[in-house]
Amino acid sequence: MRRRLPCRKAQTVFIFATLKIWKHRDSISKTVNTAKQKYTWKDIRIMDVCEIARWLDACPSVSIWLSKIIDNHISGIRSAEDYWNDYSDTKPKLIPNCLLVGRNEQNDKLSGWLISPQRYMIVKAESSLESILFILSSVFNMEERHKMLLSRIIIVEDKAA
């Protein structure tokens, strides 16, 4: 039998998600405000299908993750985490720092570009695999507040995708 962990409402965010459009008499924000007065959750959020669609559009790697879960995998496209896990599963295990050794200047330049509004950057390496793994290594080694970039990175592996 599975052991249930106690729920500490004051430390837990309650999220209600629906795959329908919110068409209730009260708006989402009014419903959330009413619920916050009534319940002791740390925070309360409601996501209808429109909000979920905006989230998936803003975070393409989350879309890829979800497509795998619902068994509708998008061929030729992978999330950054999946790509890294597939290619770092070596003996010994490849760690992000390994690809950054002796590349401090390039890593700093890439890290700066990743958080800037600049539209593109050319990364030159011995192979496309090395360039992709270098970019992912750089992201994995960024400060925690910048790791949200992982949800916005996808690897497109063929032209049809």
pLDDT, tens digit, 9 for 90 and up, residues 51-89: 999 988 888 888 888 888 887 777 888 888 888 888 888
Q: What distance in Å separates the CA atoms of residue 82 and residue 11, rounded to the nearest whole number?
A: 31
DSSP 24-45: -SS-HHHHHHHHHHH---SEEE
Residues of the chain with confidence (pLDDT) below 70: 1-2
Q: What distance in Å separates the CA atoms of residue 14 and residue 46, rounded to the nearest whole number?
A: 8
* DSSP summary character for residue 121: -
Confidence (pLDDT) at 63: 84
Confidence (pLDDT) at 74: 77
Q: What is the three-class DSSP state of 46?
A: strand
Residue type at position 93: K
Confidence (pLDDT) at 1: 62
Taking the model in full, what pTM does it have? 0.63
